[in-house]
Amino acid sequence: MSESKETSSNLSETLFVKHKQAKETSMLTCYMPSSEALLGEKRKQHNSSWYRNLRRLQWVWQGVNPIEQEAVLARIASSKNSRTTDEWLDTVMGYRSGNWAYEWTKLGMQHQNSSNEKSGEEMAEELFSASLCFSIAGYPHLKNDSLAVQAQVLANAAYSEAIKHTKLIVKQIEVPYQNKKIKANLHLTKTDKPQPVVIVSAGLDSLQTDMWRLFRDYLAPKNIAMLTVDMPSIGHSSHWPLTEDSSCLHQAVLNELPNIPWVDHHKVGLFGFRFGGNAMVRLSFIEQRKLKACISLGAPIHDIFVHADKLKQMPKMHLDVLASRLGKGAVDINSLSGQLMAWSLKVQGLLSNSKTSVPILALALEGDPVSPHTDNQLVAIYSDYGKAKKIKTKSITQGYEQSLELAIKWLEDELFR
């Protein structure tokens, strides 16, 4: 076993030892009494067995083995250890068997350990799998969740180790911004000449290291580079608060591209998942001369921000994430919904006054409450050659693959035009 792998095994043991009694994730966000009552009613109505929104298909697409995933969820569900909320299976208290962070970290360590018996790409893939499991261990990455912070350290360490063993090239880039540095990962297939590049951002509850498969399976075969950036308030970007200027960090990265020798800054695309899609669409309006194409997938654009009743219907995990990103202490759901109006790109005047020359493909799953078809149609109307597309949910995995193939074709057509 190499020294770095030993270090990483020991790292997980030492990181979590202090957290046997860590406060459980679902109880970290404080609400005002009136909002507590609302959450209590909602819990009875929704009748969900989980606090977290289980993104089974997304995680499998990102590279989690579906059988291993179900085994982890089964261990969490069947745990006899005490829970903070009996109705929610994933609220086992403390860092012990059945606890969300514990079980996903354990799976990550299994992949890390099995990487020791492998070499080259196989070793890298095991380490990328470990990184993804560690990231899910921290999901939804609430600010003051000590277990999530430790899981993130492991995810980044495994990713850094994985990139040493893959033929594909990953360079860790630092972009100066407001006296700090934005940390981004630049993924390339070669360095002999500049490549077209896509800036990729996930939502408010996942890390940039979750995007490996998007590069390996979709962008790398087309010789398109991928530059991942965490949203403000999460991961490497946690120093910066989330404000209605949701694309501020991506804009700084975009402006840095002429100084990065491996990318062609005349051929830049954007790809945003969930809240990352809001940031990318926004950037397509404010920096349109520097961009060739944009994809948003499941992005909240307008509807959910201006209808308080829809926000109140959101599961507690989503409300916790928003409160965490905005740095809220005691949350009042009514005032939170008022504040979020500023995030609507229509309220900001972008999707109401003038068009962008950037062709935007706005995708969402059919019936998605966060990203209704009306939002995506709005984006398409205000984009030259823009298009809105509903992904049928009858075969959601197939829908996911189809939408990604469509997205990559869109990027390819525009970047190599």
Domain layout of the chain by residue ranges = 168-302+344-416
User: Mean pLDDT, to the nearest integer, of 161-186?
Assistant: 96
Q: Report helix, strand and coil shares of the chain as percent, to nearest 5.
A: 50, 15, 35
pLDDT above 90 for 303 = yes
Task: Give the integer Cα–Cα distance in Å for 29 and 328.
Answer: 9
Task: Give the integer Cα–Cα distance in Å for 44 and 54.
Answer: 19
Domain 168-302+344-416 maps to which CATH number in 3.30.1540.10, 3.40.50.1820, 3.60.15.10, 3.40.50.300?
3.40.50.1820
Segment (H or E) for 350: helix 350-353
Please say whether the beta carbons of 177 and 249 come within 8 A.
Answer: yes
Hey, what amino acid is at 2? S
- List the one residue out of 217, 249, 213 whose CA is nearest residue 233: 249
pLDDT above 70 for 12 = no
pLDDT above 80 for 365 = yes
- List the one residue out of 207, 206, 377, 365 whose CA is nearest residue 298: 365
pLDDT above 60 for 6 = no
Task: Give the integer Cα–Cα distance in Å for 126 and 118.
Answer: 9
CA terminus-to-terminus distance, the chain: 48
Task: Give the integer Cα–Cα distance in Å for 47 and 50.
Answer: 9
pLDDT band at 314 (very low <50, low <70, confident <90, very high): confident
pLDDT band at 17 (very low <50, low <70, confident <90, very high): low
Q: How high is the pLDDT of residue 337?
A: 86
- The residue count of the chain comes to 417
pLDDT above 90 for 66 = yes
pLDDT above 90 for 377 = yes
Task: Give the integer Cα–Cα distance in Å for 301 and 286.
Answer: 15
Please say whether the beta carbons of 172 and 183 come within 8 A.
Answer: yes
Please say whether the beta carbons of 311 and 220 come within 8 A.
Answer: no
User: Mean pLDDT, to the nearest integer, of 286-301?
Assistant: 96
Biggest CA-to-CA distance, the chain: 60
Residue 97 Cα to chain centre, angstroms: 26
pLDDT band at 393 (very low <50, low <70, confident <90, very high): low
Q: How high is the pLDDT of residue 20?
A: 54
pLDDT above 80 for 24 = yes
Q: How high is the pLDDT of residue 3?
A: 45
Q: How high is the pLDDT of residue 43?
A: 81
- List the one residue out of 416, 310, 327 whose CA is nearest residue 372: 310
Q: How high is the pLDDT of residue 395?
A: 61
Q: How high is the pLDDT of residue 2?
A: 47
pLDDT above 70 for 75 = yes
pLDDT band at 9 (very low <50, low <70, confident <90, very high): low
Q: What percentage of the chain has pLDDT greater than the value 70?
A: 94
User: Mean pLDDT, to the nearest integer, of 90-108?
Assistant: 96
**Helix 100-115 and helix 146-162: axis angle, to 10°?**
20
Q: How high is the pLDDT of residue 313?
A: 85
Q: How high is the pLDDT of residue 5?
A: 47
Write down the mean pLDDT value for the chain: 91
